Structure 1
Amino acid sequence: MGQRTLVVVPRPGGGFNCRYAHWGVTADPLAQSRPLGREWSAGAVLDELDASYERLLVADGTPRWYCVCWLDPTLAEPDDIVLARTDDPDGLVARWTEAKSHAVDAVADGLAPDAARAGLLLGLARRADTLYRGDDASFLGDDR
């Protein structure tokens, strides 16, 4: 199965070059990804992100990993995402996948979607270093 990753490379004069990796990236994100476009704005990066991505990598001097977490337990709103900053994307994805599966099952069993979403967000906040809403481009700056 793929591991869709958006690789964002800040440009020295502002803006971003964006790349796509279907199988994820490891040691060399530029070699393991293909170009999507040059000189993207922060807004264009946000517009690209939805639940179809699993990870985002800001590839600058010190690479920063984010897991793209789909919060909607009804599986109807692909833009209902949050970015979770982590140094352990594999671990966070494993825990997130299990929590999301339980939330979807709970909604199918009658739990209100808003309650399930709130529980997902709370659990994620406990595990991630930092969370960013899907409309917050501040993660593209240096958030160390």
Structure 2
Amino acid sequence: MTFNGGVLPTSEDQNVVFFAVNGQNGFPSTIRLLRSMGIPWVVLADGPALRPGKRLAKYLRAEGLLESMPPAQRLEDVRKVWSAAGVYSFATEFGDDGTKSGEIDAFMESIDPTALAAARKTVGAQKGARVGAAFAAAVAPPPVVADLWAQMCNRLIGANN
């Protein structure tokens, strides 16, 4: 996978920090803080946070950062609008119907259920970001991860120019 004519950079190469905001309600205050300091940002969210009527959409629309979007029955219906606002997801569906199919855990499970189980055992099943980090350290990134990372890097680099 290439980026900007070369190999995809690591988060360290790009001076990118990932951190948890403790659920979808934490996105608005975090984005507000980063914007106030002039720090470029992107959001990597689970499917439920991307439902058009949720708090993240309301905040970004109020700030003029998100186009209005039609009510969506499928996540794919609004993915381009979200990415134009700097919001990305590995989810393929909203998953806010009680199935949790839009959560990052469902994505990791689809990649390598054994590695996910090992990561949960190592760091504790309820340690979301830590489980993700342990999982990422244990598996080779599939192309969808590299593609999304390239999109995020392009957005962050564009914000710095």
TM score, norm. by length of structure 2: 0.27
Structure showing the higher strand proportion among its residues: 1
Higher-RCO chain (CA-CA 8 Å, sequence separation at least 6): 2
TM-score (norm 1): 0.29
